[in-house]
Chains A and B, each alone.
Chain A
Amino acid sequence: MRIGDAKHNYEADEAIFSSSTQKIWFALFLLALLIFPFMADAYLMYLGCLVGIAVISTTGLNILTGFTGLISLGQAGFMGVGGYTVAWLSMNTGLPFPVTLLLAGLLAAAVGILVGLPSLRVKGLYLAIATLAASVFLHFIFAEWESVTGGMGGLSLEPAHLFGLTFQTDFAMYFIIVPLAILMVLAAKNVFRTRIGRAFIAIRDRDISAEILGINLLHYKLMSFALSSFYAGVAGGLFAYFFRVVTPESFPLSMSIFYLAAVIVGGMGNLLGGILGAAFMTLIPEVLKLLTAALTPFYPNAPIFMSPMLEIIFGALIVGFLIFEPHGLAEIWHRIRRFFSLWPFRN
């Protein structure tokens, strides 16, 4: 039985895993992720990959919005930069996927820095509109720079490849997407154990106080934008390799809202929240569809009446979460953990 977590030094307080129980659960989780592709059918495999991509992008946005307090509606645009970079590079240079993904992340980060420039002067809703404008601008470039982006028709690309191996199926892509998602979440976790991450949090909590403490606001805000956009760029690159086609319509504004909603529903400023939010937002519509499937044998017209209802139920679920659990899914998870940590003394 484990009761509470007593920390005896700073290292223990900063540790990624606060107890051996956590390490065991994490190892089991990794094992489950490893076994999953061998057990899952094509549909679950597809959803697994989609959740992996969503986790990377949501984690990126969480760094910016959840930890640095800079709201952004440009995530889809940054993902688009990553997606087009990968598509163009793979079509024109034949570089292997680790290189194209890295370059996609770096180019998206560079664009993120440019978009983040107004963040020193504006914040909150004003910054949201500035990033929205950037998103629209990027969409315009995707649609009109035909010689590079293929215009509205977009680009089709070859499967990801490395050392003669071709990653054509969802099964193969899973082994790129999921390890990368784990690595990038762990990397993000590490960022918040450093001076940089603490500066982000200080800026979020009170930027004027942070500046008085000697934190260079422009420097760190731009760094946060760069880091967040890097994640988006890599997620966009994976998106391109996964779907093997990118068009301007692959990265609509609604996608930015989707990721922002995932951060809020999961729990802002909490990496676990980003993961849970991404999984929730991706999977719940599919789970709701099972409702329709269950009704169809009894009522053949169920899909026609239920489909619009599912959109409403999905929206209501999000609103319900925000009202009853404003700290998101991560808080529910922490409550469950606390229950087991303290049991049987308090529940």
Chain B
Amino acid sequence: MFKSILNKSRRLAGIGSIAAVLLAAAPAMAQDKEPIVFGGSIPLSGVFAFAGVHIHAGLTDYTSWINSQGGINGHPVEYVMEDTGYEVDRSVAAFKKITGSNKVPVYYGDSTGFMKTIASELNSRGTTLMSGASFATALTDNEQYLYQFIPGPNYTQMLGIILEYIATQGKDGDMPTVAFVYSDTEFGKDPIENAKAKAAEMGIEVVEDIVTKPGSVDVSAEILKLRRVRPDFVVFHGYVLSPINEFMVQMRQMGLDTQFMGTFWSSDKLIINKMGADADGYMGVMPYNYYDSAEGGPMLDALRAVAQKSDPDAGYRPTGYMQGWFNAMVWTEVIKRTMDAGKELTAENMAESLASIKDWDTGGIIGIPVSVQDMSFPVGRIWRVNAKEERYEPVSDWIHLD
């Protein structure tokens, strides 16, 4: 009898186990679709690591969030990356390695150099759409860079937004004057000629044009030049921090009331952290809401919740994090649109889907609905440092360039 009870129990346990396995497997079977791979050449070491680690965190957190939402049309998402040290040859190696062992529809490129280098291969492969850390104007040339896009405004558009803002600051019908200070790099020189042409069109006089080494410390000669022309605005481009701080502190010590502005990579908390009270009044163009801004929205709230959960001690998340997250959001939207149209995930089909993005609600990451124009999102807002509060506050509406 004991034996029969035991057998019955065993049978029940067996049936129970099978049922449990089936129940547990049911959601997995529902998601039993081929994973979609987000690839990335990420600079976790090297000179761009200060941004790379946050970009990586943004991409990682978005991946876990989208998977918690059921993936993309039921396909789980897998994020596969390699560190590049911000070196082009290592970025290319990572690209070859990742795309060699995975089917990768979308990929994060860590530099303009890498994205230019890989362009011909991307064009000939036709399998992968790429965006990344670069906002280079050249990459929005649709004839040469067929399958690359900018996850925001390109550098020319950023300066365009800054000039639009400056144009509104004139008094008594006079346009303010501006000086450009930029680094002697491809990054620094990128938008300057276009910006000068736009300024001329808008009637804004460019009174000085200064090029320095990135990270310069002794810029006294350049500051004397600016003192002579007394610009209303100085626009920095192509720097992370130095020599922006040197220019600001020394020009203020000279009693100049010039206002200082910068583009994406020089508009994060680093300026506030390093300069303290001296950073007050510095302005930056930013296509995304800051992590600690007063703005909200379902996606921005989700981002903050995921960030808080993934690293509760991290506190403020820099703009690199926002950029990584937004990149992945755009990829998801592009893949979803391509799948919904019943098309294969080829670079050409995805580029078409990207171009079809019109008045897209980003759930608060960007404050207004956005549209893609020439493989970029030409939108941004001017933010100003409130040093006391240690944060950026908006001083303009969202500006969408036509």
Interface residues of A (CB under 8 A from B): 41-43, 45-47, 50, 143, 151-154, 156, 159, 168-170, 243-245, 247-250, 285-286, 289, 292, 300, 303-304, 306-308, 310-311
Give the shortest distance, in Å, between B40 (CB) and chain A (any CB).
10
Are A289 and B82 interface neighbours, CB within 8 A?
yes
Residues of A within 8 A of B97 (CB): 43
List 19 contacting pairs A-B, 8 Å CB cutoff, sorted by A.
A42-B96, A42-B99, A43-B96, A43-B97, A43-B100, A50-B89, A152-B189, A152-B190, A156-B116, A168-B124, A169-B124, A243-B92, A243-B117, A244-B120, A248-B186, A300-B60, A303-B56, A307-B44, A311-B45
Are B53 and A41 interface neighbours, CB within 8 A?
no
Residues of A within 8 A of B90 (CB): 285
- CA distance in complex: A308, B42 (Å): 13
Residues of B within 8 A of A286 (CB): 93
Are A153 and B44 interface neighbours, CB within 8 A?
no
- CA distance in complex: A303, B40 (Å): 12
Q: Is B138 an interface residue (CB 8 A)?
A: yes
Q: Count A/B pairs, Cβ under 8 Å.
A: 84
Are B113 and A41 interface neighbours, CB within 8 A?
no
Are A154 and B116 interface neighbours, CB within 8 A?
yes
Residues of A within 8 A of B144 (CB): 156
Which of A41, A243, A310 has most B Cβ within 10 Å? A243
Are B113 and A249 interface neighbours, CB within 8 A?
yes
Give the shortest distance, in Å, between B63 (CB) and chain A (any CB).
11
Q: Is B133 an interface residue (CB 8 A)?
A: no
Given A151-B189, A152-B189, the answer on whether A303 and B81 have CB atoms closer than 8 Å is: yes
Are A245 and B116 interface neighbours, CB within 8 A?
yes
A interface footprint on B90-128 (CB within 8 Å = 1, 0 otherwise): 101100110111000000000001001101100010000
Q: Is B88 an interface residue (CB 8 A)?
A: yes
- CA distance in complex: A286, B185 (Å): 28
Q: Which residue of A lies closest to B144 (CB)?
A: A156
Residues of B within 8 A of A46 (CB): 92-93, 96
- CA distance in complex: A304, B92 (Å): 20
Residues of A within 8 A of B138 (CB): 153
Given A46-B93, A292-B83, the answer on whether A153 and B186 have CB atoms closer than 8 Å is: yes
Residues of A within 8 A of B190 (CB): 152
Given A156-B116, A303-B44, A308-B49, the answer on whether A42 and B100 have CB atoms closer than 8 Å is: yes
Residues of A within 8 A of B333 (CB): none
- CA distance in complex: A41, B113 (Å): 24
Q: Is B184 an interface residue (CB 8 A)?
A: yes
Are B83 and A250 interface neighbours, CB within 8 A?
no
Q: Is B85 an interface residue (CB 8 A)?
A: yes
A interface footprint on B195-217 (CB within 8 Å = 1, 0 otherwise): 00000000000000000000000
Are A152 and B185 interface neighbours, CB within 8 A?
yes
- CA distance in complex: A285, B82 (Å): 12
Residues of A within 8 A of B113 (CB): 247, 249-250
Are A250 and B93 interface neighbours, CB within 8 A?
no
Are A311 and B85 interface neighbours, CB within 8 A?
yes
Residues of A within 8 A of B44 (CB): 303-304, 307-308
Q: Which residue of B lies closest to A140 (CB)?
A: B184
Q: Which residue of A lies closest to B83 (CB)?
A: A307
- CA distance in complex: A311, B100 (Å): 25
Residues of B within 8 A of A248 (CB): 186
- Beyond A50-B89, A170-B96, 10 additional contacts (C-beta under 8 Å) are A45-B96, A46-B96, A152-B185, A153-B138, A244-B120, A250-B113, A285-B90, A303-B56, A304-B53, A311-B85
Which of B85, B89, B99, B120 has most A Cβ within 10 Å? B89
Nearest 3 interchain pairs by C-beta = A307-B44, A152-B186, A307-B83
Residues of B within 8 A of A169 (CB): 124
- CA distance in complex: A55, B402 (Å): 51
- CA distance in complex: A292, B90 (Å): 15
Are A247 and B116 interface neighbours, CB within 8 A?
yes
Q: Which residue of B lies closest to A289 (CB)?
A: B82
- CA distance in complex: A327, B185 (Å): 39
Residues of B within 8 A of A303 (CB): 42, 44, 56, 81-83
- CA distance in complex: A310, B46 (Å): 11
Are A250 and B96 interface neighbours, CB within 8 A?
no
Given A153-B138, A244-B117, the answer on whether A307 and B45 have CB atoms closer than 8 Å is: yes
Are B45 and A143 interface neighbours, CB within 8 A?
no
Are B83 and A310 interface neighbours, CB within 8 A?
yes
